[in-house]
């Protein structure tokens, strides 16, 4: 599918993987709406990138906020691209060292933001994309969701995060089947250890050691490599119903 001239919505688009995706889509000529709960960052990025980029503020679990963002994304060009990058992480064992159980409210929050938030944006964006005129092969648009290698090899303390990301991967095939009737493809990217601002909070030695665990190349992945894969998925019309690992061959160890 041609990106140039298409409307695009990127949730979690103000930083990290989402920001890189916004930049890549804009470079390809898309009209992008950044949806993020961090209003200052979203506004600053939209102002930096200029014409054709707007932003909307809200939480991915808020149906009204997402509906407003979707409407905005389809206002200047047919919405054809939805990339969902918003998510949070949390580290806590099912049972702590003193035998204390995992905080149930924290588990619910992680699943709510990562899984329910992704589904919420996807369902509303898909409804808008379905209104656009079909292109080659009857295609109307593409959804790209973000899981994680933790969906398959969750580490100690990643029970909530892994559950949420595993469910995102599990949604891929049924979502693609559901939306095939209106010409919408659905794919998921499962990144490994990526060099994002969140990881930047760790000491340099720690991040270097994380990179050494990658099969090859022995380094962290970059947000730009994630964005390049998003672009490739959008442009290749035969990629559908698949979860793509982007991890340099990494297989996560227990800890």
Query: Annotated active-site positions, please?
Result: 161
19 near 75, Cβ under 8 Å?
Answer: no
Q: Are 110 and 153 in contact (CB under 8 A)?
A: no
| Interatomic CA distance for residues 66 and 194, integer angstroms | 26
CB atoms within 10 A of CB 28: 18
Burial class (CB in 10 A: 0-12, 13-18, 19+), 207: middle
In whole angstroms, give the CA distance from residue 88 to residue 108.
12
3-class secondary structure, 198 = coil
Query: Residue 54 forms beta bridges with which residues?
Result: 33
Helix spans in 101-158 (H): 104-111, 117-129
Query: What does the block give as tokens for 146?
Result: 């973000």
């Amino acid at each position: 599918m041609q990106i140039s001239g298409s409307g695009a919505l990127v949730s979690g688009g103000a930083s990290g993987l989402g920001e890189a995706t916004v930049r890549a889509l804009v470079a390809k000529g898309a009209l992008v709406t950044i949806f993020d709960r961090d209003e200052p960052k979203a506004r600053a990025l939209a102002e930096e990138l200029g014409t054709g980029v707007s932003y909307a503020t809200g939480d991915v679990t808020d149906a009204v906020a997402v509906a407003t963002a979707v409407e905005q994304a389809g206002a200047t060009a047919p919405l054809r691209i939805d990339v969902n990058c918003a998510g949070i992480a949390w580290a806590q064992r099912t049972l702590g060292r003193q035998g204390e159980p995992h905080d149930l409210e924290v588990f619910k929050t992680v699943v709510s933001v990562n899984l329910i938030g992704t589904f919420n944006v996807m369902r509303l964006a898909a409804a808008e994309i379905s209104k656009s005129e079909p292109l080659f092969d009857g295609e109307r648009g593409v959804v790209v969701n973000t899981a994680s290698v933790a969906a398959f090899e969750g580490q100690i303390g990643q029970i909530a995060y892994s559950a949420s990301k595993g469910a995102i991967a599990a949604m891929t095939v049924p979502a693609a089947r559901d939306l095939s009737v209106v010409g919408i493809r659905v794919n998921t990217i499962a990144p490994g250890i990526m060099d994002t601002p969140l990881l930047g909070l760790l000491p340099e030695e720690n991040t270097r050691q994380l990179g050494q665990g990658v099969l090859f190349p022995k380094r962290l992945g970059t947000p730009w490599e994630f964005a390049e894969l998003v672009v490739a998925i959008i442009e290749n019309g035969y990629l559908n119903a698949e979860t793509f690992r982007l991890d340099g061959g990494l297989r996560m160890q227990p800890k």
